[in-house]
Structure 1
Amino acid sequence: MDCHPELGETPLARCPGSFATGTAATVDGRRSFRDRRRNDIEAELPGWPEGNTFAVRRLPGRIGVHLRKTVSGVFAAAWGILSDLLGGATLDYEPGRGKLEEREDEVDDFPVMWADPEDTARTLPWQLDPSRCPPRYVTEIVVTTRRLLVVGSGTTLWETERENVAAAAVRRFSLGRRDFRLSFRDGSWARLTTRSSAHTTELVELLNGSSPAPLQKNDCGDTPEERRS
């Protein structure tokens, strides 16, 4: 494992994380990468594999998204009722989205990277984009007393000093409040997500200077399989 604490450094939190994904019908399942003038910068990111071209859905596509979500919701509800009647565990419904905060970045567009050349956010690794990774590839966000790191397949892909992080904030317009914006001292930012609101809250509080009790004890030597066991 390449992620070893430095002398005097203590791991505080570690959880699976990636670039966020749009949930509004216009951008559902999509994400964009922008400079500070909202230009597309995917082609400028060095070493990044080719990805899907971002485009906001037109009306027919938005209707399709709404229909798909409606059908999925009906089936999920029916399965939950049936399971309950048969004495099985009831379905744990995923919480919906909160209030829309920034229409231009959550409905009209969905940037997960906002950075000019040489900005910190532009150095984030392409492995944080699930659409560019092989199936079951997991990237993890690690917070220590000194650093913020991104780890993938047992290797440190990216790191920065904690002092380079200006702020972190939960984005309410996300499923289960799992998205958060990570802002850097140079003014660039990224929109990331985790698998649970508890992990997101923990990361945000730590990055903003709080020190809540960790959800579980982690060290940089664990593998994803060991943590799930």
Structure 2
Amino acid sequence: MDWYPESGETPLFRGGASFASGRAPKVAGKRWFRDDQGHDIGDSLPGWPPAPVHEKKGEKAVKAGKSLGFLGKATAAVVGGTMELLGGAGAGSMINIKGPDGSTPDDPALEVEDFPVLFAPFGTAAGTVPWLLDPDRRPQNYRTSLQLTDRRLLFLGGAAVGQPAEVLWQAPLNQVAGARRHAFSTTGSDVTIGFTDGSWIRLDLGSKGCADKTVWVLSGNTQPVELTPAQQAWAVKYTERMPGTIEPVATPVPGAAPGTLSIEIIVHRDAEHFLKAGPLTVDAEGKPVIG
């Protein structure tokens, strides 16, 4: 394992994370970085290198900026909540657009006419996240991930699998207002994470399971779920050839049968070294769920 929690800190989830990209025809494969006036600030954030210039959209960007400003203020009021306000009201019923999976935009101003992945009024938290989250800017083969613990949200980065990761950015969970998954996205795994200062970022987490797990944790669920005796027995058998003390960390699987958990297993070798296996989905009877 190349990243270690602080003493007494419990890791809850780690998975790949990058800024999302648009799905609707006008914004497919594109992303923008906005301030509260709708201006693109992607090339003016401190320390950010230049990126390919995406097509400008004139008045549409101005209209989106007004929507962004409203949602930014709304987000600031949802301290510790689930950010239901980020779903957008009213505008979603005005445009008839669906993805192949039947999903529809939460807010067409932010997903059809424009596609901001960072909303950062001056001096807010979103404007400090690492530029390496942007696939258009980071070096080839560089990978970024999201790490959640019961104390912090961190972004980690590394040049290759197997090489040590570095901490790119971190914030205590009390600065996070919540998170929301967006079904209308390239892989169905986009998540908007809001901060208590009203700023927010939109990430692609790679899979619906990773997205749901992130939302669950950032909605205030930082205490690991207890395994059933059958799940505990499965965990012991799964790790029988891994010497050390096992620590299962589990979260519910939305939409699955009652008791089904997504389980990651931390195998402690000593005070500073451990391995992590999973996540694997296991039902209440201790049987792995395939697919």
TM-score between the two structures when normalised by the length of structure 2: 0.60
Query: In the superposition, relative to structure 1, how do residues 207 and 108 fare at CA in structure 2: closer, same or farther (>3 Å)?
Result: same
Using the TM superposition, name which of 100-109 and 169-178 deviates more.
169-178
Query: In the superposition, relative to structure 1, how do residues 131 and 223 fare at CA in structure 2: closer, same or farther (>3 Å)?
Result: farther
Partner of residue 102 from structure 1, selected from 78, 101, 107: 107
Query: In the superposition, relative to structure 1, how do residues 143 and 221 fare at CA in structure 2: closer, same or farther (>3 Å)?
Result: farther
Q: Distance in 1 between matches of 2:33 and 2:104?
A: 23
Is 1:186 paired with 2:167?
Answer: no
Do 2:264 and 2:278's aligned partners in 1 also have CA atoms closer than 8 Å? Answer: no
Aligned length: 192
Q: Distance in 1 between matches of 2:108 and 2:177?
A: 23
Q: Deviations over 1:131-188 (max 9, x none)?
A: 1122221100000010000000110000000111001000121134200110000000
Q: Distance in 1 between matches of 2:266 and 2:40?
A: 37
Q: Distance in 1 between matches of 2:2 and 2:39?
A: 35
Q: Distance in 2 between matches of 1:215 and 1:18?
A: 23
- The amino acid of 2:196's aligned partner reads R
Query: In the superposition, relative to structure 1, how do residues 175 and 166 fare at CA in structure 2: closer, same or farther (>3 Å)?
Result: same
Which secondary structure state, in structure 2, belongs to the residue aligned with residue 5 of structure 1? coil
What does residue 134 of structure 2 align with?
129
Q: Deviations over 1:23-79 (max 9, x none)?
A: 11111111000001111111221111110112258xxxxxxxxxxxxxxxxxxxxxx
Q: Distance in 1 between matches of 2:266 and 2:3?
A: 12
Q: Distance in 2 between matches of 1:99 and 1:45?
A: 32
Structure 1 residue runs of 5 or longer lacking an equivalent are 58-94
Query: In the superposition, relative to structure 1, how do residues 115 and 133 fare at CA in structure 2: closer, same or farther (>3 Å)?
Result: same
RCO higher in structure (CA 8 A, sep ≥6): 1
Q: Distance in 2 between matches of 1:48 and 1:30?
A: 18
Higher alpha-carbon Rg: 2
Is 1:45 paired with 2:45?
Answer: yes
Q: Distance in 2 between matches of 1:187 and 1:2?
A: 32
- What pairs with 1:153-168 in structure 2 (closer than 5 Å)? 153=158, 154-168=165-179
Using the TM superposition, name which of 215-224 and 180-189 deviates more.
215-224
Partner of residue 198 from structure 1, selected from 209, 214, 220: 209
Q: Distance in 2 between matches of 1:109 and 1:221?
A: 45
What does residue 216 of structure 1 align with?
264
Do 1:168 and 1:207's aligned partners in 2 also have CA atoms closer than 8 Å? Answer: yes
Which secondary structure state, in structure 2, belongs to the residue aligned with residue 49 of structure 1? coil
Partner of residue 145 from structure 2, selected from 140, 146, 151: 140
- The amino acid of 1:216's aligned partner reads E
Q: Distance in 2 between matches of 1:34 and 1:221?
A: 41
- What pairs with 1:73-92 in structure 2 (closer than 5 Å)? none
Using the TM superposition, name which of 40-49 and 162-171 deviates more.
40-49
Query: In the superposition, relative to structure 1, how do residues 27 and 152 fare at CA in structure 2: closer, same or farther (>3 Å)?
Result: same
- The amino acid of 1:35's aligned partner reads D
Structure 2 residue runs of 5 or longer lacking an equivalent are 58-99, 159-164, 225-250, 252-260, 280-291
Higher fraction of strand:
2
Which secondary structure state, in structure 1, belongs to the residue aligned with residue 180 of structure 2? strand
> Percent of aligned pairs with the same residue?
38
TM-score between the two structures when normalised by the length of structure 1: 0.75
Higher fraction of helix:
1
Do 1:34 and 1:113's aligned partners in 2 also have CA atoms closer than 8 Å? Answer: yes
Which secondary structure state, in structure 1, belongs to the residue aligned with residue 139 of structure 2? coil
Q: How far off is 1:121 after superposition?
A: 0.6
What does residue 19 of structure 1 align with?
19
